[in-house]
Amino acid sequence: MAHIYLDNAATTPMAKPVIAAMTEQMEQDFGNPSSTHWFGRQAHTVMDASRQVLAASINARPENIQITSGATEANNTAITEVAHANRDKGNHIITTAIEHPSVLKPLAQLEKEGYDVTYLPVDEAGHISLADFDAALDDRTILVSVMTGNNEVGSVMPIQAIGHRLADHQAVFHTDATQAYGLLDLDVDALGVDLLSVSAHKINGPKGIGFLYRRAGVNFPPLLRGGEQESKRRAGTENVAAVAGFAAAVKLITPQEKADRQAKYLGFKQQIQDSLRGAGVDFVVNGTVEAGALNHVFNLWFPGVSTYALQTNLDLAGFAVSGGSACTAGSLEPSHVLTAMYGADSPRIAESIRVSFGKATTTMDIAQFIQALIKIVTRLRAKAAK
């Protein structure tokens, strides 16, 4: 049985050029970048060249790129350390109700420490209101953390508008750009962000590597303490091969490639919707397929069909989809994103699946998926009606 992968919001397969770049580094430039001998200098050169590639991808300077183990570390560093470093200026933080757990959990810890956190609500499309943001912002606000694009429904937040509002404010502005990176054009100056988090494995790069962009002048102590790597901002021997693989993945994503992927994924969404309607299958889109969405994420509600049953049957048929964020897949807790959008009593929370597309997804993959989806939904509904 062939298996078709439609869970690219969780992770993506490494591209062949990425594997080749990493293999070359593991075989040749295995030295410690902090060592002063020839082997160390070779590894340091790879780090410098890769950092330039990563910086250019968001219109930043190389010295403002801090290598991390991924977006979780980057988010934790940005939120926890900025809050602690600015406690004398205030104790108020603004975020949204649909952030990734790697943002929400550090914020929950800060609340226990006495910080006041405002969680902006979202509408049924997964968007915040700028009026709500304006009402929440005050002289006590020291940090704003708003994701660029949501990992469960694909909603895109008004990052540039928030950046403009904070231009003359003391608050440090952080965005988790993990899902948007590689699909949207991200320019840190145009967006007005001070901190930006990214993870390589969402763009066909290796797992366990990411970066935190830190605007010059935004100072806070390191989360990890030890050696003096990353200009004393993040201790630990650098994973040179993974950094090289990250850069190789970034090189594959040209501005035209971003536009092509967004158009391709939008076509997949339309293909699925048209086919389901044509087959008379009852469904509703969670979020929106209009402007203001990441097209690789498609969240669908099938009334009367449990998420668990649908996901399990699709898996048995050879199709990998998700019931929500991969980071909470083993939890019995309902999706906090769908809960924020539709309310805790909405049946959507237990009857929705997330389908997410990637570079390798084909029209034939989608056609086969649709055929299986229609068959399984119809069978499950018939079984429930007996």
pLDDT tens readout for residues 339-371: 999 999 999 999 999 999 999 999 999 999 999
Cα 120–Cα 124–Cα 128 angle in degrees, nearest 5: 30
- CB of 267 closer than 8 Å to CB of 47: no
Greater pLDDT, 325 or 243: 243
Model pLDDT, residue 325: 54
Mean pLDDT, rounded, for 103-117: 98
Looking at CATH, the fold of the domain delimited by 16-251 is given as Aspartate Aminotransferase; domain 2 (3.40.640)
pLDDT of residue 233: 81
Catalytic residue among 218, 224, 317, 327: 327
Which tokens hold the place of 285? 């889109």
- Answer yes or no: is pLDDT of 160 > 80: yes
Pairing mode, strands 4-5 and 210-214 = unpaired
pLDDT at 227: 67
| Residues 239 and 209 sit within 8 Å (Cβ to Cβ) | yes
DSSP 197-214: EEEGGGGT--SS-EEEEE
Q: Is residue 33 within 8 Å of 41, Cβ to Cβ?
A: no
Per CATH, the architecture of 4-12+255-385 is what?
A: Alpha-Beta Complex (3.90)
Judged against a pLDDT cut of 60, whether residue 332 lies above it is answered with no
Catalytic site residue 327?
A: yes
Q: How confident is the model over 292-307, as a mean pLDDT?
A: 95
The answer to whether residues 289 and 266 touch, using CB atoms and an 8 Å cutoff, is yes
Q: Tell me what pLDDT residue 27 has.
A: 92
Q: Give residue 226's pLDDT.
A: 73
Nearest to 143 by CA among 214, 84, 228: 84
* pLDDT score of 331 more than 70: no
pLDDT at 144: 98
Taken in order 20, 22, 26, 32, the sign of the CA dihedral is positive
d(CA 319, CA 5): 6
Look at residue 159 in the predicted model and tell me its pLDDT: 98
What mean pLDDT do residues 145-165 have?
A: 97
Q: Give the integer Cα–Cα distance in Å for 198 and 149.
A: 12
Whether residue 333 is predicted with pLDDT greater than 90 in this model: the reply is: no
Please give the pLDDT value at position 386.
72
Split at pLDDT 50, 70, 90, the class of 323 is: confident
pLDDT(180) > 80: yes
Q: What's the average model confidence in pLDDT over 140-160? A: 97
Rounded to an integer, the average pLDDT of 79-98 is 97
Q: Helices 255-278 & 363-385, crossing angle to 10 degrees?
A: 30
Phi, psi of 78 (to 5 degrees): -60, -45
Could you tell me the residue ranges of all domains in the chain? 4-12+255-385, 16-251
Condensed to tens digits (0 to 9), the pLDDT of residues 22-43 reads 999 999 888 899 888 999 999 9
Structure confidence at residue 383 as a pLDDT band (50, 70, 90): confident
Give residues with Cβ within 8 angstroms of 213, minimum separation 6. 58, 60, 64, 65, 66, 188, 193, 195, 196, 197, 198
CA-to-CA distance for 38 and 56, rounded, in angstroms? Answer: 27
- Backbone angle region of 369, left / alpha / beta, with phi > 0 → left and psi within -120 to 50 → alpha: alpha
In this structure, the strands spanning 172-176 and 195-199 are parallel
pLDDT of res. 230: 78
| Average pLDDT of every residue of the chain | 94
220 neighbors 22 (Cβ within 8 angstroms): no
Looking at the chain, the whole-number percentage of residues with pLDDT higher than 70 is 96
What value does the mean pLDDT take over residues 252-277? 95
Domains 4-12+255-385 and 16-251 share a fold: no
Indicate whether 328 pLDDT > 90.
no
Is residue 296 over pLDDT 90? yes
| Dihedrals phi, psi of 239, to nearest 5 degrees | -90, 85
Q: Is the pLDDT of residue 222 over 70?
A: yes
